Structure 1
Amino acid sequence: MRNEYNLIDEPWIPVADHGRVGLADIFSRTDIRALGGNPIQKLAVMKLLLAIAQAACTPEDEEEWRKMGPEGLASCCLSYLERWRHRFFLFGEVPFLQMPKVESLVAARTDARLKKAKTRGKKKQEIQKGAPKPFGAGFYPDLPSDNNSMLSHTMLGKELDSGEQALFILTLMNFAFAGKRVEGGMKSLAGTVLSDKHSAPAGPSLGGFVGQLHGLVVTGDLRKDVWLNVLTREQIEKANRWPEGVGCPAWEAMPAHEQDARAKAIRESYQGCLVGVSRFVYLKDGGIYYLDGIQYPKVSEGWFEPTLMLDQSDKLPKAKYVNLEKRPWRELPAFLSFLESGSTAGFENMAFRVGVQRMKQRKERLCVWTGGIRVSSTSGDQSAKQDDDFLESTVWIDGDDLGTVWLNHLDLEMKGMDKLASTVYGSLRNYFADLHATPEYAGAQAALGSNLFWQFCERDFQTLVDNCERGERESQAREALRHRFVQHAHKVFDLYAPRETARQLEAWANRCPNPPAGYLETAERQQPTTQGA
């Protein structure tokens, strides 16, 4: 086959303000500030860029990392891409992250079934089943099921161009939805018998439940972001999570099947968690052959990615899942708890720890980015439906502010907002109870009101973050924000608690929310107790 569409040169990566660019543009241009696309597409592309960087030039330690700098790393990546140019063709003899052998497996199954087919209609049906599958909408790392309900135009299938197909495959490798859309009724490449209803597990970065939350540090300069998030060999060895160490990226040497030594090496290397191979796929005639791939362990079984939020407090580690009702910015103090020496609370996120410490030392402004997708899971089958959605959150922080004082002030303010949100919830619930509404209705309205309160507060959260350092000006700013948050509470209560009748007016007057005791005291009087501040 002729080699076509090289990902190094062709525009396929969505970036902010520029449309789509190729891999060479990412490492050669200085005007690309951030990736585009949905959150899991951003994660998948960032993982690919980091995999290229780790393959091109993994620094030995922090000293070598600092000396290399963004420019040095970008130069190494460009050299690497040129050296491995032949492995970045989307179509050809060795297509990028694809397994051409999958086509022959499907063809053999089709031939066997055609021999058994008795009618022309049955033969036509088997031929259709043996054809490449359609992509669907393309922005989910999943193929449409045969009985999909089309609720909006965004769910309609469409033809993907070559760049969209490349992005789809890349996202699929780590974030594939679990379910039965994979090919079945055949033997796998390793010889395992797959039933007609074979169900594949979720990609390791998505997880097998409702979708895992990821986070990392970015700067507003994409080349610098790659450099900032590259791990040193010293950090990889110290983490003791990957028996194969840095490893070899999948595109340099794909496995022959899902159980061979190469598959094991990919699964147990750092490169394998950056760009996995959770599906064996092959692009053909505008569609895709789609087979189950390498089997990955769960987080509870030892799977680890630097971008995952992991709770290590229990016997078995647990990943933090995407929660659309509680946006990640509300848990920022827990995410950054490692800034407080000796703290064991919160979540472990290696990418946060490495990125924040590096930017703190450089005294530069950084952005804490979190993102993921919420999915529904039924009997091991995942899909995005009803109120499922992508989640993305960004918070900018000055590197020279980061420390115990800043973190304790932020934690104090967030606890106050939590109490205020609880007050809103209780006031609305009691208001509807006074009007003899059912407990279910009263609770639902209270939950909606509390959620709206947090939406109002999110508009001012960046200002709060910027004023959590010690100082008179900062204290005055936090005090003003508290008054503003109380105004949000009253506004939400007024929106959800009408006062048009005498009974409503009486209930409104009795249940109007008052701020928690001491909340409106001056910030100076509420300085948190700190040790070693």
Structure 2
Amino acid sequence: MQNFNLIDSPWIPVRWRHDASAETSPLVSLKTAFARSSEIADLDCAPHERIALTRLLVCITHAALGAPEDEDEWDEFGTNFSEDIIAYLKRDDIYPHFNLLGDGPRFLQSKKTTAKSSEGYPLCKIFFQLASGNSPKLMDHWGEDARPWEPAAAALGLLTLQNFFVGGSMASKVKGNGPSLKSLQMLLLGDSLKETLLRNCIDLETLKQTGAEIGTPVWESPADNNLLARLAPTACALWLSDDYATTLIDQGHQYPEFEAYRDPFATTLTIKDNRRLLRANLEQGIWRDLHLVTNLKHTDEASGPLNLQAFNNRHTLKQHTNLWVGELVKAKDAKIIDCTESTFTVPQQLFSEDGRKIYANGVDHADAISKKLYGAIKTYWGALKHENPPVPSAQKHYWHQLDLKHRTLIQMAGDTESRRGLPAIGEAGAVDAWTKLVQSTALDAFNSVCPRSTPRQIQAYANGIKPLMKALYPKPPKAPKQPKKSSSIPNIQSEMKL
């Protein structure tokens, strides 16, 4: 058995900055990640791995450096970033907890005394992207047969499973989910790994808004429900075999879900008096919820992520801020469906009430026209007695084009001053870029599935497009009729008769 310590051994996939001063490698250890954090541009991994790795690195940063009390203490935070964190990781009471194997403490692992090695599951089961059991994958046909695992891959899979444990065939032994599930995670991106990590740290004043405490990581004390224990979680009692072929899985710490605990990287909103976490919808682009993510207020109705609120507290948001948003999406039957991610360069005004209102109006207008498009296509094909109109094809065309050009709406929300005094998006007389884009896209989508080559088709086309055109080009409301004024000129003929 060869030991593999995550502090000294390379396992974190990264992309280097173009000005890196020394030899570079696609995988780095924790020590190198922090020692050369200013030379590393970003993590280089799948969305769920990015979330798990960022949470771990932020956890280590807070564990080593503490956390500012409030916005006034941010200037001094991270002054000796690399030196202090590496010194923390090298401590005698910390270093052994990052061993991947061995009889002593292990990284995010524990073993029940009654566990038997024959009860182990194939290691492929902890990787969501691989085929195992009744979970076939298009590009993976290995199944549950033994695979040649590298320690680096096993370490990353272990960390990811603890964050996103969802059960499945292993659910009979474990209750609860990983703390990173069931929410759209938002991470602030910097020009380097160091800047990214510092941007995602949280001060105690912001954290106390949710009633939580910073706590300690699981390698320092038993798992609890506070911040650091959730950033590097132990949702399962895992124990890797010495050859990385199998893993034992048992009950770990059961983390409470929202509303009992507010995840620091999640957005909350209220729908019909029900407060919930913002989730990804695979049928629509993440950009359609960007105005919710950029909400800097902490209220019961809506609240942006705590890391964004803390970043705003210590900095006046710059002209542009880079955000990464993504989620590992699960189904109700505990199966992983897919993962999704988007990166946005957000102008400062989109964090203001005026900018968010413009953006929300643009999304609402696009959604309203989508419904009008649905009705127009149904009317067209209903006139032709067609029972299955190609509405999904048109809707896909419509939203795909808006997905490609959603930056237009971001730019409008970032220039609130130029919008003052003009008609709102979609209203009568509106000639802004987003209104025009929605108009042309909706007409293209309608024309793509509604031909007009025959007399019957022409008549059906006229019936269908009429209500759509009214929605796309609304007329201003008619002014109320003014009452007729009574004439002051006397009726001469009447007077002569008298």
Tell whether the structures are fold-level matches, with TM greater than 0.5: yes
Task: Give ranges in structure 1 of 5+ residues lacking alignment.
Answer: 108-129, 183-196, 254-261, 522-533
Equivalent position amino acid for 2:179 in 1: P
The answer to whether structure 1 residue 97 and structure 2 residue 108 are counterparts is yes
Q: Give the counterpart of 1:135 among 109, 112, 123.
A: 123
1:286 positional shift:
1.8
Counterpart CA distance in 2 for 1:16 and 1:422 is: 43
The answer to whether structure 1 residue 61 and structure 2 residue 70 are counterparts is yes
Alpha carbons 1:213, 1:370 under 8 Å: kept: yes
3-state secondary structure, aligned to 1:6: coil
The answer to whether structure 1 residue 463 and structure 2 residue 420 are counterparts is no
The answer to whether structure 1 residue 396 and structure 2 residue 345 are counterparts is yes
- Counterpart of 2:215? 247
Counterpart CA distance in 2 for 1:310 and 1:142 is: 32
The answer to whether structure 1 residue 202 and structure 2 residue 177 are counterparts is yes
Q: CA RMSD in A?
A: 3.2
Counterpart CA distance in 1 for 2:431 and 2:137 is: 44
Alpha carbons 1:228, 1:358 under 8 Å: kept: no
- Counterpart of 2:13? 14
- Counterpart of 1:120? none
The answer to whether structure 1 residue 350 and structure 2 residue 295 are counterparts is no
Alpha carbons 1:141, 1:175 under 8 Å: kept: no
Q: Structure 1 residues 158-167 or 279-288, which shifts more?
A: 158-167
**1:327-342, aligned counterparts within 5 Å?**
327-338=285-296
Alpha carbons 1:309, 1:348 under 8 Å: kept: yes
- Counterpart of 1:529? none
Equivalent position amino acid for 1:73 in 2: F
Alpha carbons 1:334, 1:345 under 8 Å: kept: no
Equivalent position amino acid for 1:516 in 2: A
Query: Residues 234 and 484 of structure 1: is their aligned pair in 2 closer, same or farther, counting only changes over 3 Å?
Result: closer
Counterpart CA distance in 2 for 1:432 and 1:16 is: 52
Query: Residues 427 and 31 of structure 1: is their aligned pair in 2 closer, same or farther, counting only changes over 3 Å?
Result: farther
Alpha carbons 2:225, 2:256 under 8 Å: kept: no
Counterpart CA distance in 2 for 1:204 and 1:151 is: 25
Query: Residues 346 and 358 of structure 1: is their aligned pair in 2 closer, same or farther, counting only changes over 3 Å?
Result: same
- Counterpart of 1:449? 394
Alpha carbons 2:327, 2:340 under 8 Å: kept: yes
1:511 positional shift:
1.9
Alpha carbons 1:49, 1:226 under 8 Å: kept: yes
After superposition, what is the alpha-carbon deviation per residue over 1:176-209, rounded to whole angstroms, capped at 9, x for unaligned?
1123325xxxxxxxxxxxxxx5464322321xxx
Alpha carbons 2:162, 2:178 under 8 Å: kept: yes
- Counterpart of 1:268? 225
- Counterpart of 1:411? 360
Alpha carbons 1:60, 1:233 under 8 Å: kept: yes
The TM-score with structure 2 as length reference comes to: 0.80
1:279 positional shift:
0.5
1:357 positional shift:
4.6
Alpha carbons 1:142, 1:176 under 8 Å: kept: no
Counterpart CA distance in 1 for 2:439 and 2:126 is: 43
Q: Give the counterpart of 1:488 among 441, 450, 459.
A: 441
Equivalent position amino acid for 2:327 in 1: G
The answer to whether structure 1 residue 32 and structure 2 residue 32 are counterparts is no
Equivalent position amino acid for 1:78 in 2: I
Alpha carbons 2:452, 2:461 under 8 Å: kept: yes
- Counterpart of 2:184? 213
How many residues end up aligned between the 2 structures? 448
Counterpart CA distance in 1 for 2:4 and 2:121 is: 21
Alpha carbons 2:131, 2:142 under 8 Å: kept: no
After superposition, what is the alpha-carbon deviation per residue over 1:69-99, rounded to whole angstroms, capped at 9, x for unaligned?
5x53343222222223332221223221111
Alpha carbons 1:218, 1:225 under 8 Å: kept: yes
3-state secondary structure, aligned to 1:97: coil
Equivalent position amino acid for 1:249 in 2: P
Task: Give ranges in structure 2 of 5+ residues lacking alignment.
Answer: 17-24, 424-429, 477-498
3-state secondary structure, aligned to 1:173: helix
Counterpart CA distance in 2 for 1:38 and 1:56 is: 27
Counterpart CA distance in 2 for 1:142 and 1:246 is: 35
1:372 positional shift:
0.7
Counterpart CA distance in 1 for 2:411 and 2:447 is: 30
Q: Give the counterpart of 1:383 among 327, 332, 335.
A: 335
